[in-house]
Amino acid sequence: MMLFVITGAKAFSQILAFSGASKGLIAFVLDFPISPILIIIAMQVILLFMGTFMDTFSIIMITIPIFIPVVKSLGFDPLWFAVIMLLNMEMAMTSPPFGLSLFVMKGVAPSDTTMGEVYRAGIPFLGCDLLVMILMLSFPQIVLWLPGMMR
């Protein structure tokens, strides 16, 4: 099954490249009169929304061919974006109503635990993750310092 997802994502990426849709999308995004960081934040909101209904691997395989060319054209480091995207995927797995980690937590909790209690228990973790994401968006060197030491 995973091989089919990878093959489909690769085909999707190639179709975007050959049809010129990637160039059109980049031109469309660059024409917006808003700050590039707001475009990155909008991408993160889209990823968080998708993550409440889909699994992480599928989201990454669908969105990377669309988002990475836009990120590069906006002048951001793709590694920085990838780290933020992975944190966002982790947040999506803990966000109600369909976060997969919430159902795992419900499965290992005592039998009298309700889903509402599991949702409330996940909120502090989402808050911490959001704080970390804001720090990484505000100060990219937090993410890029260690990889920069290896270059």
Distances (CA, A) of 52 to 3, 27, 47, 49, 96: 23, 29, 9, 6, 7
**Average pLDDT along the chain, 151 residues, taken 10 residues at a time:** 72 78 81 90 92 83 86 92 92 83 87 90 91 95 90 72
Q: Tokens 């054209």 map to which residue?
A: 73
Calpha distance 27→73 (Å, rounded):
9
Q: Please write the tens of the pLDDT for every residue from 23-48.
A: 788 888 888 888 999 999 999 999 98
Q: Look up the pTM and report it.
A: 0.82
Range of the domain at 145: 2-150
pLDDT at 13: 76
Please tell me the total count of domains within the chain. Answer: 1
pLDDT of residue 92: 87
Instruction: Report the pLDDT value the prediction gives residue 2, as an integer from 0 to 100.
Output: 64
Tokens of 23: 């160039």
Q: d(Cα 122, Cα 1) in Å, to the nearest integer?
A: 30
